[in-house]
Structure 1
């Protein structure tokens, strides 16, 4: 079964310094029928004005992934990390028993464009963890970049970021090879495919940036990338 979740159907907020689109219920956007997809709880597309950002705030028991599309983010947290995250890199925090952090646009001239992703963990109270990597340094499995997976391993690929959930986050970009990708979806699994940039056709459905496709009871995910497209695939336990 296929179900589209198009960009214009997302919630949103405009705070002046922050323009956000919410794929699922978040903050002032609330839809009881759109609280997430399996353990995937948040995909926020944020555009942050120059020199602005999120002051110090806390999280616990959540897997938090920051995917930079354009610009650069400055990160500081209670684990002692002080990092710059440029476009083309991904950061993952396991908030666990509790972490506090801040995020600011590093530039005083250009907007920062990013995705904030939250995945509910299947263990609680662990010590917080931090990882960061360029996309190109992450392992590949059948042409897909494996960003995060249980124990950092997925379908024979090792060295991904560790995800405390029976789920995986994968990426497809033209730069990594051919524009067509196939992905076998296991039994009792579902996929959420989000077009982060550009355009792509997924299982015959044409999608633009910000669009997504929910997939279940299908054996394969077939993706055709347009030039410069970036696609995220979440392999999730079926509810």
Structure 2
């Protein structure tokens, strides 16, 4: 088994006034040659956007972009004609493919919005752009991990162009879990959104991340009042 630990206070940080962003992997002006990506998991940005502010229209291509709001609401507009609001309890996915423009704004004038933006390198290039969002709350049960993303359109959750599986757990009790990987060639990146957990005997606290690969199964003890995201991805592009 191989592991890599990224404590919350070692992440890249950029405070733009209206945007306070923490980068698990190299992004924008933050560059760390030892933290480019984890397999095909390229970006985990932990963003807080001030009331009434947001990202203006900008382009993406050949990337799977996943947004998970943690608090507040974010308005999305894109060149495919989609206009939508995502809120805590939702997950949004956009396959940029051949190219798409989009904007993201906090339309609330009385509170900030917090969300995770995650990029996964796709296994197909130049696909037709697509957009989807669902309510995670509708498919989630407490004190267990619930699949929220997969490669399969007919599975629970949203889907992307990559052999990736995301599972999210909200724990009100201390709970022991075993996660079975889909392939020995894949790894899991665990990100503690809230609370704490012990993963393969390593204690993780809020916003800590840990990558594990070279194993079939991962043991996870989620502590009470914790929220944990598991991202299983291929380790080779």
Relative to the length of structure 2, the TM-score reads 0.92
Are 1:199 and 2:196 matched, yes or no? yes
Are 1:169 and 2:166 matched, yes or no? yes
1-structure distance, mates of 2:145, 2:153: 14
Q: Which moved more, 1:87-96 or 1:212-221?
A: 212-221
Contact 1:139 1:159 in 2 (8 A): no
2-structure distance, mates of 1:195, 1:227: 12
> Aligned residue for 2:178?
182
How far did residue 178 of structure 1 move? 7.0
2-structure distance, mates of 1:200, 1:114: 21
How far did residue 161 of structure 1 move? 1.1
How far did residue 202 of structure 1 move? 1.4
Q: Relative to structure 1, is the Cα distance of residues 223 and 106 closer, same or farther in structure 2, using a 3 angstrom cutoff?
A: farther
Gaps of 5+ in 1: none
Contact 2:134 2:157 in 1 (8 A): no
1-structure distance, mates of 2:177, 2:158: 22
Are 1:59 and 2:60 matched, yes or no? yes
Relative to the length of structure 1, the TM-score reads 0.91
How far did residue 200 of structure 1 move? 1.7
Are 1:234 and 2:235 matched, yes or no? no
Contact 2:174 2:221 in 1 (8 A): no
> Aligned residue for 1:88?
89
> Aligned residue for 2:132?
131
2-structure distance, mates of 1:172, 1:112: 21
1-structure distance, mates of 2:168, 2:58: 29
How far did residue 112 of structure 1 move? 0.6
Contact 1:139 1:160 in 2 (8 A): no
Are 1:150 and 2:160 matched, yes or no? no
How far did residue 85 of structure 1 move? 0.7
Gaps of 5+ in 2: none
Contact 1:173 1:179 in 2 (8 A): no
- How many corresponding residue pairs? 233
Tell me the SS of whatever aligns to 2:115: strand
2-structure distance, mates of 1:152, 1:169: 14
Tell me the SS of whatever aligns to 2:62: coil
> Aligned residue for 1:217?
214
Contact 1:62 1:119 in 2 (8 A): yes
